[in-house]
Amino acid sequence: MKKLAPTGGPPLHFTALLAALAILSVLLVATLALAPARSYFTGWRRVQRRYNALVARTHGRPVTVGIKQVWIPERGVVDRCPTCHLSAGVARPIEGDRLFAAHPGIPHDPRKLGCTPCHGGEGRATSQREAHGEVRFRSDPLLARVDVEAGCGSCHSHLPTPSRAAAEQGRRIFEEVRCRDCHSGERDLRSIGLRGVPADWHATHLGRTVGDVSFGPLADEEIAPVTAWLSTLVGAPRLMAARMLAAESGCRGCHRIEGVGGDVGPDLTGEGRRPMEGLVFTAVRGPHTLPGWLRAHFLDPRSVVPDSAMPGLGLSDEAAGLLTTYVLSLRAATMPLEQAPPDRIRGLGLRQRDFAADGESLFGVFCVGCHGRRGEGSKLPTLASRVPPIGDPEFLAIAEDRYLRESIARGRPGRLMPAFGSTDTGLRPAEIDALVGYLRGFMRASPEPEAVLSEPVDEALGLRLFAENCAGCHGDRGEGNLVAPPLGAPDNLTTRADSPILGTLTNGVNDTAMRSFRHLDARSLRALVATVRALPPPPMARTGWTRRPGVAARGEGLFATHCATCHGRRGEGGRGPSLRNAGFLASATDDHLTASIVRGFPGTEMPRFGTGDALRARLLPAQVADLVAFIRGWAPASPRGRSGASRAR
């Protein structure tokens, strides 16, 4: 080839460059050939060849090697899991093989539902790491085997959950009576809970025989627990156990789940699919996954959320694991209603509750997280003072039903107690009534009058108790004042015999500040009765005594001295709850206020001002009346606001 000879310029390196071009081109072709190799030599191809090799030994049908997928456009499902997991609807299972064994029996066909709606993971991926979600940016990774039932929550968001105690009792009865002897095979009850337990199942049973075997009836009180147990049989025992544990852990008191619950903590409706952004893993010892974080959170909330108001629940590892499964089942289902399962339709469409309606269950669902399992109160990390023990008998003696209902419905502004009265997100009136009824159960029963009156009299005890409990309103010698009537007056019929005194002590007097003292034991009650009987005659007479309100102007000064430290200078709250809010003032009568101030709130920092001690001055009845008048002055002028003050006696 004739080249133009360069004339004194830089050399042309023709041959060298031609060789370089040749070499580089070869390298490029080799590199480009590697690219299809990466697409061809894939993990799933090896898996399918292994299946075909296994199946060839048994002369079964091999699969065509290629990507297999479940494609359901109307649900947005594109799941390529069957590419490796061939037994999920593509090919015949091979028993005993870890990958090719049959899918466990479920009421669903994987070919019609897909895989990822239940299992999570990235359906479109064809590599194991990406499909199972073990990559950095993957949210909603594959559920671990132990948590696999949480996937049911993707659609079954409102499974009816009975109380754990009832279900456990039902299970025991179920085993004792040996229902399974007949209910096996075709009559299996494994998913009776999904189909719905007929309400009259017991009655229908009694009319049946199988061969010559008939059934004995169950006792009346055994039918409900067995019904509860049967309703938990949905084919997902761990999920139901988790839901029952959650239903007695008080989660919904602070967290809204599927639209029901308080707003103190975050809404947990989609928490099971929560993206990992923003999660702090410093204190998580296990794998840095969402289940790992949830478990660490349950064991010690403040270790993973530094400013959390959530109390430590004192859970065992196993309970934390169960609750983790529960939270993972909260997957924010979004399918249209016509694709929803019956429980979701009942929950969302008919607005039926997925928790039981009795007071004890409701208490477990909403209240125990803060108020304790027996209403004993608790110490929350972000509150200066304790959560009040609403199960305390003396508190319940002071609080009327209306006050309890209003407190539940309107909450406590400025504190963590939400307003549960909204029927959309909270409790219905019947449910609030059930809760109040349950709380009332914490009060002591009225003692038998004979049992009390047969106790020996302890005079010293009686004098001490009188000073602690009665003198605060009735005066040191029961002489009476503007708040309470004279006890020892000769014309006071109530105090002339033991029985009426005992009756007043155990039941209180309606529409007055005299609330019951039922919480005292028999000996104390007997001593008090004797002390009241032995009171000297007072200056004023009983007839013609009326209750008179205090002077609000004087109450203002008293409030500043005694109350403002905790309740705020303007009653707006601080260490103590806010008093200056419409809900409180509308539901707390003057009598309630009087009794609260005199008797305090046991278990909280609200002292018994009627008694006084080394730290606190004692407030005299007139002062208490002034305070009540002052506080009442905050109420908007409404007929309800003046419930007890102006009522003549």
Q: Give the footprint of another protein on this chain (CB under 8 A).
A: 1-4, 6-10, 12, 14, 17-18, 20-21, 24-25, 27-28, 31-32, 34-36, 38-40, 67, 78, 80, 122, 124-127, 130, 137-139, 275, 277-278
Rounded to a whole number of angstroms, the minimum distance from the CB of residue 285 to another protein is 19
Rounded to a whole number of angstroms, the minimum distance from the CB of residue 130 to another protein is 7
Rounded to a whole number of angstroms, the minimum distance from the CB of residue 80 to another protein is 7
Q: Which is closer to another protein, CB of 256 or CB of 608?
A: 256
CA distance 243 to 159: 9
Rounded to a whole number of angstroms, the minimum distance from the CB of residue 327 to another protein is 18
CA distance 118 to 112: 12
CB count in 10 Å sphere of residue 153: 27
Q: Report CA-CA distances (Å) from 48 to 103, 122, 414, 422.
A: 17, 20, 63, 57
Helix 498-507 and helix 522-533, axial crossing angle in degrees, nearest 10: 130
Work out the burial of residue 355: count CB atoms within 10 Å of its CB; fewer than 13 is exposed, 13-18 middle, 19 or more buried: buried
Q: Which is closer to another protein, CB of 107 or CB of 275?
A: 275
CB count in 10 Å sphere of residue 492: 22
Rounded to a whole number of angstroms, the minimum distance from the CB of residue 632 to another protein is 47
Q: Which is closer to another protein, CB of 8 or CB of 539?
A: 8
Q: Which is closer to another protein, CB of 278 or CB of 539?
A: 278
Work out the burial of residue 506: count CB atoms within 10 Å of its CB; fewer than 13 is exposed, 13-18 middle, 19 or more buried: buried
For the record, the structure tokens of 230 come out as 């049967």
CA dihedral 257, 230, 146, 108 (to 10 degrees): -90
Rounded to a whole number of angstroms, the minimum distance from the CB of residue 103 to another protein is 22
Rounded to a whole number of angstroms, the minimum distance from the CB of residue 260 to another protein is 22
Q: Which is closer to another protein, CB of 332 or CB of 345?
A: 332
Work out the burial of residue 583: count CB atoms within 10 Å of its CB; fewer than 13 is exposed, 13-18 middle, 19 or more buried: middle
C-beta of residue 328 within 8 angstroms of C-beta of residue 294:
yes
Rounded to a whole number of angstroms, the minimum distance from the CB of residue 308 to another protein is 19
CA dihedral 265, 270, 275, 281 (to 10 degrees): 40
Q: Which is closer to another protein, CB of 275 or CB of 381?
A: 275
Q: Which is closer to another protein, CB of 272 or CB of 377?
A: 272
Rounded to a whole number of angstroms, the minimum distance from the CB of residue 101 to another protein is 25
Pairing of strands 77-79, 209-210: unpaired
C-beta of residue 487 within 8 angstroms of C-beta of residue 478:
yes
Q: Which is closer to another protein, CB of 69 or CB of 163?
A: 69
Amino acid of residue 366? F
* Distance from the Cα of residue 273 to its chain's centroid: 20
Amino acid of residue 428? R
CA distance 328 to 150: 6
Rounded to a whole number of angstroms, the minimum distance from the CB of residue 45 to another protein is 12
The distance in angstroms from the start CA to the end CA of the chain is: 130
Q: Report CA-CA distances (Å) from 105 to 76, 191, 231.
A: 24, 12, 20
Helical segments of 232-353, H only: 237-247, 290-299, 301-304, 317-328, 342-344
Q: Which is closer to another protein, CB of 28 or CB of 106?
A: 28
Q: Report CA-CA distances (Å) from 120 to 58, 144, 169.
A: 33, 10, 34
Rounded to a whole number of angstroms, the minimum distance from the CB of residue 168 to another protein is 40
Rounded to a whole number of angstroms, the minimum distance from the CB of residue 140 to another protein is 9
Q: Which is closer to another protein, CB of 90 or CB of 230?
A: 90
Q: Which is closer to another protein, CB of 135 or CB of 560?
A: 135
For CA atoms 220, 221, 224, 229, give the dihedral sign. Answer: negative
Instruction: List the one residue out of 233, 166, 234, 223 whose CA is nearest residue 199.
Output: 223
Q: Report CA-CA distances (Å) from 340 to 123, 198, 263, 297, 334.
A: 21, 21, 27, 31, 9
Q: Which is closer to another protein, CB of 25 or CB of 382?
A: 25
Query: What are the b/e assignments for 39-77, b being 16+ CB within 10 Å?
Result: eeeeebbebbeebbeebeeeeeeebeeeebbbeeeeeeb
Rounded to a whole number of angstroms, the minimum distance from the CB of residue 280 to another protein is 11
Q: Which is closer to another protein, CB of 29 or CB of 56?
A: 29
Q: Which is closer to another protein, CB of 270 or CB of 503?
A: 270
Rounded to a whole number of angstroms, the minimum distance from the CB of residue 424 to another protein is 22
Q: Which is closer to another protein, CB of 27 or CB of 617?
A: 27
* DSSP run (H or E) holding 432: helix 429-440
Rounded to a whole number of angstroms, the minimum distance from the CB of residue 70 to another protein is 14
